[in-house]
Structure 1
Amino acid sequence: MIYLDYAATTPMSEEAMEVFIQASKNFYGNANSLHDIGSNAANLLEASREELAKLLHCQKEGIYFTSGGSESNILAITSLISANKHRGNHLITTKCEHSSILHLFQRLEQEGYEVTYLPVNQSGFVDLAALQNAVKDTTILVAIQHANSEIGTIQHINKIGKLLHERNVLFHCDAVQSFGKIPLHLDQEYIDSLSISSHKVYGPKGVGAVYINPRRKWNPQIPGSTHEGGLRPGTINIPGIAAFVTAATAIYDTMERENARLEALRELLIEKLTQLPTAKVVIEGDQRKHLPNIVGIRIIGMEGQLVMLECNRYGIALSTGSACSIGMQEPSSTLKALGRSDMEAKQFIRISLGNATTKADILHTIAIMNNVTESFFNKTRRETIGYEG
């Protein structure tokens, strides 16, 4: 099978897997234990924290390891607004955010917080003037993702952060999709908290990290938590963290070269998709400022779920959007935010490339897509003619 769903999750690299096995064997202690076995685990944990901080260009004191991107989003936002709720009750985000953030903001609305959902343009960009106008004296925090997981559009994060800091508003950035594809210099950005995840960069699942600027005050959400500076409870996953940082370091070492390779494959894919003889394909998102590995498309007249299932039947694995939202039987919230109708949003599919994707994979995928669309539209045409006759 050709795997084209890397934005959902990546296979674990051999290097990360080996580190995971060795750390499991040799650093199995609880990092909070005071004996030598615990101290050895704690030393590996702190070395991993330091290495990750180097990749993000930030203070290691701001790095906290979590179970993944969703927990990082939730802990960062709730911990920051809890410590700053004396300043007001207004929050800002967009309808294009990851489901973990959208669901959290829905809950916060029920708890009495006022939430403004910013509009985006047809390419998925936040309107800076709309953001400027949305900020109030009571605004505590704004959560805007770095890059969208479905269409790949990269937000103007530096401009957004600068605007917010000038208004003394906290800025949380979900960087789960962009980490490992775009260099992050948190010492130069106006970002107060940032979430990343291991399984998007060929590390193990169930591991992530959140950065919270050490200069910002936050409150623990679960009283008595003793791990990760009190940010969260639960024994630290030392092997998973070591494997995560190993995978992240490896991807940073090859980032520039791999991005160029993926961009070339992306361009080939788009060129061939838009030349399909029996289907009209719409490319969603911005074609200049985007992640190199994500292509969001709509095939006019075909539901995305049908395309996905037919491609799967022929050995091609792709998706109908964010894996965290699939199964909800709702049109893509990102596509709806772009102004697409329910019918158009249901046509959406996402193709995401990774380190094992080749030119041959792209060409084979195009051949399968051609067969699938040709069969569907020819059948539809025959049925229409038969009905009219």
Structure 2
Amino acid sequence: METLTSSFILPKTAKLDDNQQNVVRKILDFSATNIPCDKTAVFVLSGEAGAGKSIVLASAFEKLQKLSRQPNTAFSGFDNKLLVNHNEMLKIYKELAQQSTYLYKKDFMKPTPFINHYQKEHKKAEIIMIDEGHLLLSKSDPFNKFQQTNQLVEIMKLAKVVILVFDFAQVIKLKSYWQPNWLKSLLKDYPTQYYYLDQQYRLQDAKVTDWINAFVKGHLAPKPTTKNFELEFFADGLSLYEKIKTKNQQFGLSRLLATTDFPFTVLDDKKWFVTAGNLKLPWDKLNFTDRPWAERPETINEVGSIYTIQGFDLNYAGVILGPSVKYDEAEEKIYIDSNLYEDHEAFKTRTDVASLAKAKNEIVANSINILFKRGKFGLYIYATDATLRKHLLALKNTKI
């Protein structure tokens, strides 16, 4: 098995493939062409989880900063920033700065501090790259000091070119809820280029990707026969955990994850627990270190969430589906009961979404999609709902 890090920083021996290098060139060409123009131009880079969006963006930004810090280039002296609304990923970008001659920690910011600082100073940047653009706020969030109504709108006011990474299937909160027509409507008056990354770089078997996509849409497809990937279902969370611990000892970067619909009950030791059959483990804790959650050895004894694993890679992922993920035998369909979802922060009400119930179901489905697509070589699943668990276990003996 190849060596893997959980982040999008490529090992020194690795490089982008031809397709990825082509996208990097397109981003730089688009930027150079549109810098002289009067209107802000936007390049939208999309693709599903595992398509390599962050790797491409990080490479493009490093090349851009190298050119901006050298004389006599198309980008010399430019003020550029890379923004990401994700604490764990911001740490990795700042780590990338320590490994590169041309990157500085100040090149990387979260969207709200960037917006507030540049507005206060009456400044405008040349090129802004945004990773995990689907995490941008689409409503005000005074608690986090964002007073306006849409972060992308404010960022476009402060840049000549915006490079935006976006995946609608990774929206995980109502305050950052987006629909495709919203983005297209917002960008309709701006020069815009769209590029879709359609290759899967993380999951090692396309049939597994198809199976996951069907699951997220509510269909329990037959279990695919795979060559380079382990897809297994478990009758108890404890046996799932034992499997993950074994894989972690053998290959590293194997972790237990769960949908965030387990009660956040604070006990005497101030821990919140996930229970799955005979398993009881604490949720991931706030990470005040400079390393991502999955790369800290002690987290093998915790359960990770979308907030600690989104955007990162694992070798093997064990996923616990909480009570909100159910199976209707009469309809032969997976469905979401969002009333049972315990991530109340994700469901803070907003008035500009036509169907809140539909949006909430999409958020839960998106969280499943994110968790299921973390493991490069294996996905192990335990369902809290007894009916869904029964039907998953029945797939063990089916073939495509």
Identify the structure with the greater strand proportion: 2
TM-score of the superposition, structure 2-length normalised?
Answer: 0.34
Q: Which has the higher contact order (CA 8 A, sep 6+)?
A: 1
* TM-score normalised by L of structure 1: 0.35
